[in-house]
Structure 1
Amino acid sequence: MLCAIAHKADSATSEHGDLLDLIRAREGLVSFRDAFDEARRFLRAPRARTTESRDRSSSECDTIALARKIWAASQPIIGTKAEAYLRARKITADLSDAPLRYHPALIYRERRNSPPRKLPALVAAVTDNGGEIRGIHRTFLDPDRNEKASVASPRRSLGAILGNGVRFGVIVEFAIIGEGIETVLSLKSVAPHMPMVAALSAAHLAAWKIPAGVRCLIIASDNDRAGRNAARKLSGRAEAVSVQVGTIVSRGKDFNDDLWYLAREYPRLQQVRIT
């Protein structure tokens, strides 16, 4: 802990002061706070955690614990409404080992004080580079159709999401990263053996923590301004740590749009080839 040194008289000037006063005089600082920060920098002492930061850390721990509880209460995805939702999106990727589960009745609120309702949900585990579950992502589903629920925000995250992601396959030296779960699973449908990660949003893609062993990274960008900007930021960060990086951009809004197009056009193209 940084402590002020007891006041002593300067024998040459008879002025009283302490180390912080000396720093203020030396650096031309006016406020006590500036002097204190300069002393901390000089001594390489860490900044003391404020009540606000402690509360924020405690709140994050609570949300991580809740996320893990929901994950544990969810069931394997195969044969569930969550799998049916993804198959309806033309996704053919193998889901048996995917970090995806199904919950038949998760609580949903439009706002914090809104009355709760229960909806089925696709639940995805968000993990860090060590494989620890740090949060979940929920896609609330329509009870009667294989679609997202008709609510204000059908996609919601819980826990420590920033820098982490939903991982499909084991990432060692190579990875493909995209935004949404459906986007990444669309790529998995055509490249099933490649390790991939869904960052869950453009902002989270830009801030993804690149694993230490990764040497080559492919960024699968959504075809919008936010997606391209996020890809550019992550690309710059990757190049700064000597990671070879490339970017692919969807033709439609995202790669699930592209998959829909291929699914629709493939039979017609095959017929053209035959004739």
Structure 2
Amino acid sequence: MLSAPELADRLAHNVEAVCRHYLSAGRRAGNYWIVGDVANSQGRSLYVRLTGPRAGKWSDAATGQYGDLLDLVREACGLVDFCDVAYEVRNFLSLPQLTLSESSDACEHRLCDRPNAERARRLFRITQPLAGTLADGYLRERGILRGSVHAALRFHPSCYYRDLVTGRATSYPALIAAVTDSGGAITGVHRTWLDPNGDGKAKVEDPRRALGGLLGNAVRFHFSISAPVTAMAAGEGLETMLSLVAVMPGMSTAAALTANHLAAFRLPLECRRLYIAADADAAGRHGIEGLSRRAQALGILPLVLAPELGDFNEDLRRLGPDRLIANLKAQLAPEDALAFLPG
């Protein structure tokens, strides 16, 4: 099992090949490889040394980031664990891969002591704006036309995916959503891996995964830490809640991502009416019931919003926004219908 310094040294002996593979948008200029950033953008901010005793060392003048080629591979691929970095590097160098037990040992003893929330924040930092990307197109196919206006949603062109059964790893484009606490701090991320050809989600066993601290937190839309939230909507799925945001753009909305996390979502103390987006399965009912009990204990009125079809995204896609608005208008309190639905 090669150590991290040994892997970094192997990469440094092939530094230009590393740059051409992971930073293909850049170019060689004298003794340096120059590119925009670790996400392989066009530009001249990031410099990688190609020759001499410091070959492989890099720094980004715009962000202050720096490191060796292991760091570069980690950031360029959006990796979060050393075992995944090692897998990627060994694959690039055509080295034999570790067994699953050896890989687990490497992950346990190297970089995986970093808290999950920190890994999530690092992944979110190296994403790019959503507008015009494959993830934007993915949402548009689902009737969500203004996903790019939300700061919580970003795109990663090559997000690392590891099969938890076989240990095999690859990369896919991904929709990245920031999970935040009530103060707006990122505690985790939700990843939806996408088919590179634009055919929906990636064809993998579990194309959706979360990383970091979800308990009590959520992917939030139209929340303000300075303005009181007196009425809001909460539910499980990202696309379900984005469908509600599409027709109620002013209402504070939270996607807790799972039924258990929905039941544990921390409600704003100033909230008076909570609309809970229904999910028809048993786990969904558990989430609704748990959150309803907690809301009532806080003096908040819980009201369940029911879709006409399977979920609100199906309503948006198949019935259209006007029909969805009409359905919601019949379920919202009159003052909220007036405030948040189009006239």
TM over 0.5: yes
Q: What residue number does 1:107 align with?
A: 160
Corresponding residue SS for 1:121: strand
Q: What residue number does 1:165 align with?
A: 218
Corresponding residue SS for 1:185: helix
Q: Percent identity?
A: 44
| 1:218 Cα deviation from its structure 2 partner | 0.7
Corresponding residue SS for 1:101: strand
Runs of 5+ consecutive residues of structure 2 not aligned to the other structure: 1-107, 324-343
Q: Of the two, which has the highest radius of gyration?
A: 1
Q: What residue number does 2:140 align with?
A: 87
Describe the superposition over 1:45-65 as per-residue Cα deviations: whole angstroms up to 9, x where unpaired: xxxxxxxxxx9xx97862111
1:62 aligns with 2:62: no
| 1:165 Cα deviation from its structure 2 partner | 0.2
1:195 aligns with 2:195: no
| 1:254 Cα deviation from its structure 2 partner | 1.5
Aligned length: 210
Runs of 5+ consecutive residues of structure 1 not aligned to the other structure: 1-54, 267-275
Describe the superposition over 1:153-211 as per-residue Cα deviations: whole angstroms up to 9, x where unpaired: 00000001111000000152221001111001111111111110100011111111112
Describe the superposition over 1:15-34 as per-residue Cα deviations: whole angstroms up to 9, x where unpaired: xxxxxxxxxxxxxxxxxxxx
Q: What residue number does 2:194 align with?
A: 141
Aligned-partner Cα distance in 1 for 2:250–2:319: 20
1:261 aligns with 2:314: no
1:209-248 equivalent positions in 2, closer than 5 A: 209-248=266-305
Aligned-partner Cα distance in 1 for 2:176–2:315: 24
User: TM (normalized to structure 1)?
Assistant: 0.71
| 1:94 Cα deviation from its structure 2 partner | 5.0
Q: Which has the higher contact order (CA 8 A, sep 6+)?
A: 1
**8 Å CA contact retained: 2:130, 2:147:** no
Amino acid at match of 1:64: A
| 1:213 Cα deviation from its structure 2 partner | 2.1
| 1:104 Cα deviation from its structure 2 partner | 0.3
Describe the superposition over 1:84-143 as per-residue Cα deviations: whole angstroms up to 9, x where unpaired: 000001113453134100000011011176121010000000000111100000000000
- Judge which range, 182-191 or 247-256, deviates more: 247-256
**8 Å CA contact retained: 1:84, 1:146:** no
Alignment root-mean-square deviation, CA: 2.2
2:184 corresponds to which of 131, 150, 166 = 131
Aligned-partner Cα distance in 2 for 1:80–1:184: 21
Aligned-partner Cα distance in 2 for 1:149–1:217: 34
